[in-house]
Structure 1
Amino acid sequence: MIELDHVIVASRDRVAAARQLAGLLGVPWEPTALGVFAPVYVNDGLTLEFITTDEAFPVEHFAFRVGDAEFDAILERLDAANIGWRATPQGPNDRQVGTMAGGRNVYWDEPDGHRWEILTVSYARQSS
């Protein structure tokens, strides 16, 4: 069995980026680990390691599958933080909720340009 353990996420300010995502997802994080990372502990098996860089980096997309209660809580946190969100990967932040694959999904952009998504049903893998 292969499981993804961690991903390094480039940012201009690792602490600010990690704090924001952890706060929105309602998961723990640390300001520094190993001296260069600010890890966000997404779940027992996945850590996002934010690193500060001045180099150019591509905008990445990360999608988090959550339950209905977590989805609602994250939307509330997005609103409380004044962060716009939308139903589509691109376009205006119109506060619309998507309904892909029979579930709910929304996207938002973080300050470094990365595109986050929460969804209640995966559209990446169709159930058999």
Structure 2
Amino acid sequence: MGIRFDHTIVAARDREASSAFYVHVLEAAPAPSWGPFTNVTLDDGVLVQFADLPREAWPEIPPQHYAFLVDDALFDRAYARLVGDGVEHWADPQRTRPGEVNHGHGGRGVYFLDPAGHYLEMITRSYL
């Protein structure tokens, strides 16, 4: 089988809100949830599990970076939702180009934050 990425746990302040954001913006699929996790799946079968960080640890969720490779049609739909919902976004990870899309690597890309403050990146062409 080789190696394949299977799942990750993402710290959240509100796991339901975080999972709903990924479903709404990125069209992730809701998945069966259990215990402390609210789950979504990506098209390649990767499970993303959201878990609430204890309130006494707020606001200290260390931000992580999650990048999603999407096709052009999904990028268009997701970007329209970001803009329509008034979600701040940038063309660069340093956040110096607000409200823009980048055209690096022969595709398009955008950076934005999820409800827990994690840095999300949506690109249409892989860096490889």
TM range (shorter): 0.7 to 0.9
The 5 Å alignment of 1:87-102 reads 87-92=91-96, 94-102=98-106
Q: For 2:44 and 2:69, how far apart are their aligned partners in 1?
A: 14
Residue equivalent to 1:5: 6
The code of the aligned residue for 1:42 comes to L
- 8 Å CA contact 1:39–1:48 kept in 2: the answer is yes
Please report how far the alpha carbon of residue 121 of structure 1 lies from its aligned counterpart in structure 2 after TM superposition.
Answer: 0.8
Please report how far the alpha carbon of residue 82 of structure 1 lies from its aligned counterpart in structure 2 after TM superposition.
Answer: 1.5
Please report how far the alpha carbon of residue 33 of structure 1 lies from its aligned counterpart in structure 2 after TM superposition.
Answer: 1.4
Structure 2 residue matching 1:43: 3-state secondary structure: coil
Relative to the length of structure 1, the TM-score reads 0.88
Number of residue-to-residue matches in the alignment: 123
Residue equivalent to 1:48: 48
Q: For 1:26 and 1:109, how far apart are their aligned partners in 2?
A: 16
- 8 Å CA contact 2:15–2:38 kept in 1: the answer is yes
17-26 or 93-102, which moves further after superposition? 93-102
Selected match of 1:84 from 85, 88, 105:
88
Report runs of 4+ in structure 1 exceeding 3 Å deviation: none
Residue equivalent to 2:111: 107
The code of the aligned residue for 1:6 comes to H
Structure 1 residue matching 2:81: 3-state secondary structure: helix
The code of the aligned residue for 1:50 comes to F
Please report how far the alpha carbon of residue 90 of structure 1 lies from its aligned counterpart in structure 2 after TM superposition.
Answer: 2.3
1:34 aligns with 2:34: yes
Q: For 1:51 and 1:96, how far apart are their aligned partners in 2?
A: 31
- 8 Å CA contact 2:9–2:49 kept in 1: the answer is yes
Please report how far the alpha carbon of residue 92 of structure 1 lies from its aligned counterpart in structure 2 after TM superposition.
Answer: 4.9
84-93 or 98-107, which moves further after superposition? 84-93
Q: Which runs of 5+ in 2 are unaligned?
A: none
Please report how far the alpha carbon of residue 69 of structure 1 lies from its aligned counterpart in structure 2 after TM superposition.
Answer: 0.8
Please report how far the alpha carbon of residue 27 of structure 1 lies from its aligned counterpart in structure 2 after TM superposition.
Answer: 2.3
Calculate the aligned-residue CA RMSD, in Å.
1.6
Q: Which runs of 5+ in 1 are unaligned?
A: none
The code of the aligned residue for 2:17 comes to A
Q: Which of 1 and 2 has higher RCO (CA within 8 Å, sep 6+)?
A: 2
Q: For 1:117 and 1:100, how far apart are their aligned partners in 2?
A: 13
Q: What percentage of aligned pairs have identical amino acids?
A: 36
Please report how far the alpha carbon of residue 94 of structure 1 lies from its aligned counterpart in structure 2 after TM superposition.
Answer: 2.1
